[in-house]
Amino acid sequence: MSRPIRILVAKAGLDGHDRGAKVVAAGLRDAGMEVIYTGLHQTPEQIAEAAVQEDVEVVGISSLAGAHMTLFTRVLELLKEAGAGHIMVVGGGIISEDDIVGLEKRGVAKLFGPGTELPVIVDWIVKAVDAQRAEAAKE
Amino acid sequence: MTYDLAEKLVNGDRLALAKAITLVENRAHGHEDILEECFRNRKPAVRIGLTGAPGSGKSTLVNAMIKLLRAEGKTIGVVAVDPTSPFTGGALLGDRVRITTSESDEGVFIRSMASRGAVGGIAEATDDVAVLFEASGKEYVLIETVGVGQAEVDVAASADTTVLVLTPEAGDSVQTLKAGLMEVADVFAINKSDRPGAERMALDIRSMLEMRASEKGWTPPIICMSAIRGEKVDELIDEIAKHREHLASCTSAADRERTYLVVKLKRAVERMLKNDLWRGPDGSALEKIADDIADGTTTPYAAARQILDRYRARSGQGE
Amino acid sequence: MTKKPPDKDYDAAKKKWEDELASPKCRQMHDRFETISFREIKPLYTPEDLGHEVPEDYMDELGFPGQHPYTRGVHPTMYRGRTWTMRQFSGFGTAKDTNKRYKYILEQGGTGLSVAFDMPTIMGYDSDHKRSEGEVGKCGVAVSSLADMETLFDGIPLDKVSTSMTINGPAAILWAFYIAVGEKQGVSSDKLRGTIQNDILKEYIAQKSWIFPPRPSMRLITDIIAYAADNVPQWNTISISGYHIREAGSTAVQELAFTLADGFAYVEAGIEAGLDVDKFAPRLAFFFDAHSDFFEEIAKFRAARRIWAKRMKNKYGAKDPHSWTLRFHTQTAGCSLTAQQPENNITRTAFQALSAVLGGTQSLHTNSMDETLALPTEKAVKIALRTQQIILDETAAASTIDPLAGSYFVEKLTDEMEEAAEEYFRRIDELGGVIPAIEKGFPQREIADAAYRFQRALESGKRVMVGINKYFEPGEKVTIDLLKIDPRVDEECRENLRSLRESRDNKKVKQTLAALKKAAEGTDNLMPKILDAVRAYATLGEIVDTLKSVFGEYIETPIF
Q: B240-278, pLDDT tens digit by residue? A: 999 988 888 877 767 777 877 887 788 778 877 877 777
Cβ distance of A49 and B18 shorter than 8 Å: no
Q: Is the pLDDT of residue B120 over 60?
A: no
Strands laid side by side in the B108-114 sheet: B108-114, B76-82, B140-146, B46-52, B161-166, B187-190, B222-224
pLDDT score at C542: 98
Contacts of A57 in chain B (CB under 8 A): none
Closest residue on chain A to C92 (Cα) = A66
With a cut of 90, say whether residue C516 has pLDDT above it: yes
Same domain, C52 and C93: no
- Window 321-360 of C, Cβ < 8 Å to A: 335, 338-340
Go through chain C and tell me how many residues it has.
Answer: 560
A133: confidence class by pLDDT, cuts 50, 70, 90: very high
Q: Is A81 near chain B, with CB under 8 Å?
A: no
Q: Half-sphere exposure of residue A132, counting CA atoms within 13 Å on the CB side? A: 17
What residues in C contact A27, CB-CB < 8 Å?
A: 452, 455
* Domain co-membership, C19 together with C156: no
pLDDT number for residue B148: 64
Distance CA(B261)–CA(B142), nearest Å, equals: 19
Average pLDDT over residues C206-232: 93
Residue C366 confidence class, pLDDT cut points 50, 70, 90? very high
pLDDT of residue C6 exceeding 60, the answer is no
Residue C485 sits at the chain A interface (C-beta within 8 Å):
yes
From the list A25, A40, A65, which residue is nearest C139 (CB)? A65
Question: Does pLDDT of C418 surpass 50?
Answer: yes
**What pLDDT shows up at residue C491?**
92
Q: What is the mean pLDDT of chain A?
A: 90
Confidence of residue B77 (pLDDT cuts 50, 70, 90): very high
Q: For residue A94, what pLDDT band results from cuts at 50, 70 and 90?
A: confident
Q: Which residue of A has its CA nearest to C452?
A: A23
Whether the CB of B196 is below 8 Å from some CB of chain C: the reply is: no
Q: Average pLDDT, whole number, for chain C?
A: 92
Residues B278-288, mean pLDDT to the nearest whole number: 70
Smallest Cβ–Cβ distance between C482 and the set A16, A27, A96 belongs to A96
Residue C326 to chain A, least CA–CA distance (Å): 27
pLDDT given for residue A127 in this prediction: 96
The predicted structure's pLDDT at residue B318:
46
Do C349 and C200 fall into the same domain? Answer: yes
Do C377 and C229 sit in the same domain of this protein? Answer: yes
Give the max Cα distance, chain B: 68
Identify the band that residue B156 occupies on the pLDDT scale cut at 50, 70 and 90: low
Tell me the DSSP string of B235-288. Answer: HHHHHHHHHHHHHHHHS-HHHHHHHHHHHHHHHHHHHHHHHHHHHSHHHHTHHH
Residue C336 lies in a domain: yes
| Helices vs. strands in chain B: H and E counts, helices first | 13, 8
- State residue A1's pLDDT score: 43
Residue C2, pLDDT score: 43
- Going by their DSSP bridges, the two strands B161-166 and B187-190 should be labelled as parallel
Inside any domain, residue C383? yes
How confident is the model over A23-52, as a mean pLDDT? Answer: 93
Cα separations (Å) of C381 from B272, B308, C392, C393, C483?
A: 68, 78, 17, 18, 11
Closest CA to B108 of B70, B68, B82, B71: B70
B249 vs C69, more confident: C69
Distance CA B204, CA B198 (A): 10
Residues from chain B contacting residue C560 (CB–CB below 8 Å): 92, 94
How high is the pLDDT of residue B229? Answer: 81
Same domain as C111, residue C58: no
Contact residues, chain A, for C335 at CB < 8 Å = 19
CATH topology of domain A6-138: Rossmann fold (3.40.50)
Q: Which residue of B has its CA nearest to A10?
A: B97
Nearest CA in chain A to C454: A23
Give mean pLDDT, residues A5-21.
89
Rounded CA separation C78/C121 (Å): 36
Cα angle C154, C156, C161; round to 5 = 145
Per-residue pLDDT for B319 more than 60?
no
C50 and C190 in a common domain: no
Residues C190 and C232 in one domain: yes
Confidence of residue C37 (pLDDT cuts 50, 70, 90): very high
Q: For chain C, give the percent of residues with pLDDT over 90.
A: 78
CB-nearest partner of A22 from C131, C555, C560: C560
Using the predicted structure, report yes or no on whether residue B58 has a pLDDT greater than 60: yes
pLDDT computed for residue B194 by the predictor: 82
Q: Is the pLDDT of residue B147 over 80?
A: no
Amino acid at B45: A
Which residues in chain B are closer than 8 Å to C556, comparing Cβ atoms?
A: 97
- Give the pLDDT confidence score for residue C1 in this predicted structure: 39
Decide if C459 touches A, using CB distance below 8 A: yes
Q: Is residue C449 part of a domain?
A: yes
- Going by C-alpha positions, the residue among C533, C513, C508 that lies closest to residue C145 is C533
Contact B96 A37 (CB under 8 A): yes
Residue C473 lies in a domain: no
Is it the case that residue B206 has pLDDT exceeding 80? yes
Cα C11 to Cα A53, C3, C401: the distances in Å are 74, 15, 19
Is there a single domain that holds both residue C58 and residue C95?
A: no
Give me the pLDDT at residue B267, please.
79
C63 CB neighbour count, 10 Å cutoff: 22
pLDDT digits (tens, 9 = 90+) for C259-297: 999 999 999 999 998 999 999 999 999 999 999 999 999
- Overall number of domains in chain C: 2
Q: Is residue C426 part of a domain?
A: yes
Pairwise pLDDT comparison (C177 vs B56), residue with the higher score: C177
Residues C33, C147 share a domain: no
pLDDT digits (tens, 9 = 90+) for C453-483: 998 898 888 999 999 889 988 777 766 676 7
Q: Tell whether C44 and C189 lie within a shared domain.
A: no
Give the domain CATH number at C196.
Answer: 3.20.20.240
Range of B141-155, B300-314, C14-28 with top mean pLDDT: C14-28
Q: Give the per-residue pLDDT at B221.
A: 93
Same domain assignment for residues C57 and C100: no
pLDDT of residue B176: 58
- The residue that leads in pLDDT, C259 or C137, is C259
Q: CA of B8 to nearest chain A CA: how many angstroms apart?
A: 13
Q: What ranges in C112-206 are assigned the alpha helix state H?
A: 119-123, 146-152, 171-185, 200-202
Residue B15, chain A, CB below 8 Å: the answer is yes
pLDDT for the residue C104: 83
Nearest CB to B98; choose among C441, C555, C560: C555
- C-alpha C425/C-alpha C430 separation (Å) is 9
Domain chopping of chain A, boundaries:
6-138
Confidence of residue C169 (pLDDT cuts 50, 70, 90): very high
Q: In Å, how far is B42's CA from the nearest CA of chain C?
A: 35
Range of the domain at C97: 82-400+417-460
Least confident stretch, A114-118, C157-161, C445-449: A114-118
Whether C114 and C34 map to the same domain: the answer is no
Residue B108 pLDDT grade (very low, low, confident, very high; cuts 50, 70, 90): very high
For residue B118, what pLDDT is reported?
41
Residue B97 contacts C, CB cutoff 8 Å:
yes
**pLDDT tier for residue B173 given thresholds of 50, 70 and 90:** low
Interface contact B55-C552, CB threshold 8 A: no
Q: Residue C459: which residues within 8 A CB-CB, separation 6 or more?
A: A117, A118, A119, C469
DSSP per position, C188-249: -GGG-EEEE---HHHIIIII----S-HHHHHHHHHHHHHHHHHH-TTEE-EEEE-HHHHHTT
Q: How far apart are CA A101 and CA A110, in angstroms?
A: 10
Model ipTM value: 0.92
Residue C556 and residue A39 in contact, taking contact as beta carbons nearer than 8 Å:
yes
